[in-house]
Each structure stands twice: as structure tokens, then as C-alpha cells.
Amino acid sequence: MKNILVINTGSSSFKFQLIQMPTEKVLASGLVERIGQQNSEIHYSSQGYSGTREQQVPDHSIALRAVTDLLMSPDKGVIKDATEITAIGHRVVHGGTTFSKTTIIDKKVKKEIKALFSVAPLHNPPNLTGIEVAEEVFPNARQVAVFDTAFHSTIPAKAYKYAIPNHLTEENHIRLYGFHGTSHKYVSEKAAQSIKRTDSKIISVHLGNGCSITAVENGKSVDHSMGFTPLSGLIMGTRSGDLDPSIIFHLVDKLGYSLKEVNELLTKKSGMLGLTGYSDLRDIETEAQKGNRECKLALEMNAYRIKKYIGSYIAAMNGLDILVFTAGIGENSGTMRKLVCNNMDFIGIELDEIQNNLRSKESRVISTETSKVKVMVIPTNEELEIARQVDKLV
């Protein structure tokens, strides 16, 4: 038996699971959310215990140390000391062209992850922090990186290339990479199993603080909304998603922004935060219900952008069997799912409102029996997918 600790560091969250392999038994799990905000919370569950506590968590380093204390706590913990951890699987967002598979972490790997900070500024830095803190706390464990970009290595050149001079793609590796790959892989495989066919056309919609959408044909990623970095595509918590690149030149040349300020604006001050003043969709939905016009419009804009991508991917794959919603918003927001699926009957999407409004942690179908396209909510389990890949490697 191996105890594998999976660390999944998001831009504003820190998820973890301690999984016993190969039985896939979860010994402990939890979530630190709203990192860097005033109302941070730590959710922790282990055998015989489940609880939440409010705690100021200014950064990811403090989040990991708080989780480690819980894992080894005399009353709530599941291990006595660090030597009981065989390996630690780290979700790393950007692997560039260097990493296309799960990799043992060494100094060279950490250097490459750091070199990609500029193209994944919200993710690779906390990913590396998680690795470095884990190396200190668990010095005897094998540290393993599982890259979000790996699943998207099957995207064809017609989809990953940008219409820029070829040498920039070939020599400087400027191309679409794709992200949230571990999540899209996990849920698309579960969706495909539900129709018991090897040939399938699936669109996976991952909606969290970061949002992305993937076209998956016959089990392989063939297109994806994020690109060279996790900035493009859907409207996100603090990221703008798609925009006219000339806006950047206008901000710099006409409005006096520095390039650093533009980067900060588009990655940390835009998206739903820029539109409403809130980055958490729960707050935005609450305000919209109170009649806040900005929040109502932001929800409509968000859903409209998702609809456009769904339409384009149906065209690219020449059809659709299953539409999957996953991640924090995708799994829990019936409001967002309804906004996306409304007026999509032309392409065969019919939502069952009763099923859509049910709250459940289980995978489920939320479309009507007559819907030509099966619509599903599948809770993502990136941690289990990471644990499986780590187990195979070590």
C-alpha cells in the first residue's frame, strides 16, 4: 500500500486528498478556499471527523502548512509523521513544450516550472510554492508533477497554431497549450463510460474561479478555450478571457498603462471581479437575486461566452453526444447551467429543471429524456486522477 498526498493548488484555493493506493481509499481530504481574502476557510475531513474553520490564510504556503498540521494532528490526523507519505502528486498548470507526461520533480523540473511563471502567473508560482514547502515537510517522499497541459497534447496543429509568423511557433513555442487537463480528462472519461461507446463527442465545461471548455473526440482533446496562457477563453473570476489584442496597445499607448499594469489588470482585476466587484460567483448570484444590474449582466455575459464556445465545438466535431459541467461553479450553480442551456433546443439540448436544481455530490444527468444531447453534472476528481498517474510512476 502507498499513501499518496495529492496537492492541487488553484489561483485562490488549495485542495488536497491523502489517498491510499492502489485501493483508492481516501484517508483525508479538504479545501482551503478564498486564499488571500478576508474570509478564508479551511474544510477538512478524515475518518471520524469533518469540520470547517475560519482562518486568515494570506498565501498558499500558509495553506499547505495548516493542512499538514491537520494531517498529523493527534485527534483529527490520519498519519503520525511525514515518513508515512510515499509520494506527493502536485498539479502543475503549465508544462510548456518540455513536459507532456507525469514527471519526477528535481532541480531541473523546478527550474522549468519557474521559467513558465510569466505565462501562468496565477498558477505556476503557487504550484512551485506547494512543491518547495512539501519538500521541506516531507523530505523522504517522492515529489511528482502532473501537468494540466499534458491532456491537450493531442490537439491538432490546425487548432493549436496561431496565425503569426511560423518561426514564433517553431522557435519560441508560442501556441495554444490548454489547461485544466486533469479535470477535463477525468470527467470526459466518466461521461464516455455512461454511453458505453468508444466513439464519442463530448464538450467538457470546467467552471471555477478559472474557467475553460474542451472539445473531446473519441477520448482525445481536439480543441480548448485557453491558449498560450490560462488568460484567454471564457470569462473567469478575475481573468478577462477573450478580448481584442489591440486593447492592450490602446491601454499602453493612449491611456498610459505600463505593460506590468496591463498584465495585472487582465489577470487579477478583470473577469467577474471587474464587472461586478465580486470574484466569487456565489456572491454575484446573491446580488443578482437582489436586483443588482451589474451582477445580472455579468452572469448573462458569462453564459453567452460559454454558449459561443459550445456552438463552435459542435461545428468542429460535427456533432455532440454529451455536454458536461464540472468544477465548483459547474457542479453547484444551477443558475449558471440554466443560463447556458436555455434556448439551445435547436442543437438538441433540453434541460430538466427539476434535475438541474437538485444538489448532489454524485454524477447525474440533468437533461430531459427526449434531449438529443445528454447533459451531465460530473464532479471532477483531479486528485484521484493525479494519484493514479503518480501510482503508475512510482
Q: Report, as residue numbers or ranges, the catalytic residues.
A: 148
Please tell me whether 15 is known to bind a ligand: yes
Please tell me whether 382 is known to bind a ligand: yes
Please tell me whether 343 is known to bind a ligand: no
Please tell me whether 8 is known to bind a ligand: yes
Determine what percent of the chain falls in helix, strand and coil, rounding each to the nearest 5.
40, 20, 40
E strand segments, the chain: 2-9, 13-21, 25-33, 41-46, 49-54, 87-92, 103-104, 142-147, 201-207, 211-217, 220-224, 322-326, 364-365, 374-377
Residue found under cell 459550445: 310
Please tell me whether 174 is known to bind a ligand: no
At 54 the three-state DSSP class reads strand
- The x, y and z cell numbers of residue 47, run together, are 475518518
Residue 348 to residue 318: CA distance in whole angstroms: 13
201-207/103-104 β-pairing: unpaired
Which of 186, 227, 233 lies closest to 211 in space, CA to CA?
Answer: 233
What are the DSSP calls for 151-189, one per residue? GGGG--HHHH--SS-HHHHHTT--S-----HHHHHHHHH
DSSP 232: S
- The x, y and z cell numbers of residue 321, run together, are 453526444
Please tell me whether 280 is known to bind a ligand: yes
Please tell me whether 207 is known to bind a ligand: yes
Helices 334-341 and 293-317 meet at what angle, rounded to 10?
60
Please tell me whether 281 is known to bind a ligand: yes
Please tell me whether 285 is known to bind a ligand: no
Please tell me whether 209 is known to bind a ligand: yes
Please tell me whether 334 is known to bind a ligand: no
DSSP 351: B
Amino acid at 271: G
Neighbours of 1 (CB within 10 A): 8
Neighbours of 84 (CB within 10 A): 17
How far separated are the first and last CA of the chain, in Å rounded? 12
Please tell me whether 166 is known to bind a ligand: no
Residue 172 to residue 233: CA distance in whole angstroms: 22
- The x, y and z cell numbers of residue 81, run together, are 509523521
Please tell me whether 329 is known to bind a ligand: yes
Please give the annotated binding residues for ATP, written as ranges.
Answer: 15, 206-210, 280-282, 328-332
Please give the annotated binding residues for substrate, written as ranges.
Answer: 91
Please give the annotated binding residues, written as ranges.
Answer: 8, 15, 91, 206-210, 280-282, 328-332, 382
Please give the annotated binding residues for Mg(2+), written as ranges.
Answer: 8, 382
